[in-house]
């Protein structure tokens, strides 16, 4: 009976994910068109960039739903945590500026790679950054640091 419940939940998640993917794709398409029409000097360029970044984040969540529906295995591989953090921070810059949040990176220059699923680690980092930004509606400082831990581990 538990198996049937999980299968039904997976089918529901897949259906929801597919239904959300189409409108998200349309939002990305039209945001890109508007961004190109506005040109680089427009006062709305940053706003459009936020729309694009948040839509891409939603597509990532939809992908995670699809992975859950398919019950994919974790794909652990050597992962550069500093690179994942820098890529995510780059995507969040517009939102941080809009909220007057300053990001300070203190990333260990020789951080060892970890065995992890980059997609899952990215989702964890996105959630942490989003929660931090939500907790600072009037601005503030967000410090992200990394350090080497015991063999094969890192911490921040």
pTM of the model: 0.56
CATH at 58: 1.10.287.130
Residue 133: band (very low, low, confident or very high) from pLDDT cuts 50, 70, 90: confident
Total domains present in the chain? 2
Instruction: Single out the residue of 57, 49, 25, 62 nearest to residue 126, CA to CA.
Output: 57
User: Which residue, of 70, 91, 110, is where some domain finishes?
Assistant: 70
How does pLDDT run across 70-115, given as a tens digit for each residue?
A: 654 567 889 999 999 998 888 888 888 888 999 999 999 999 999 8
Q: Are residues 7 and 28 in the same domain?
A: yes
Q: Are residues 142 and 127 in the same domain?
A: yes
User: Which residue, of 40, 70, 100, is where some domain finishes?
Assistant: 70
Whole-Å CA distances, 84 to 72, 81, 102, 146: 21, 5, 18, 12
Q: Are residues 49 and 17 in the same domain?
A: yes
CATH at 95: 3.30.565.10
CA separation for the pair 132, 48 (Å, rounded):
22
Tell me the residue range of the domain where 144 lies.
77-155
């Amino acid at each position: 009976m538990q198996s049937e419940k999980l299968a039904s939940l997976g089918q529901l998640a897949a259906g929801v994910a597919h239904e959300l993917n189409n409108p998200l794709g349309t939002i990305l398409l039209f945001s890109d068109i508007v961004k190109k029409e506005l040109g680089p000097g427009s006062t709305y360029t940053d706003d459009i960039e936020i729309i694009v970044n948040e839509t891409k984040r939603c597509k990532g969540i939809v992908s995670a739903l699809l992975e859950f529906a398919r019950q994919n295995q974790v794909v652990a591989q050597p992962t550069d945590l500093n690179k994942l953090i820098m890529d995510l921070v780059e995507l969040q810059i517009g939102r941080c500026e809009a909220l007057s949040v300053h990001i300070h990176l203190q990333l260990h220059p020789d951080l060892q790679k970890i065995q992890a699923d980059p997609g899952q680690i990215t989702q964890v980092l996105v959630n942490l950054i989003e929660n931090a930004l939500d907790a600072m509606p009037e601005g503030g400082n967000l410090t992200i640091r990394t350090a080497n831990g015991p063999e094969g581990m890192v911490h921040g």
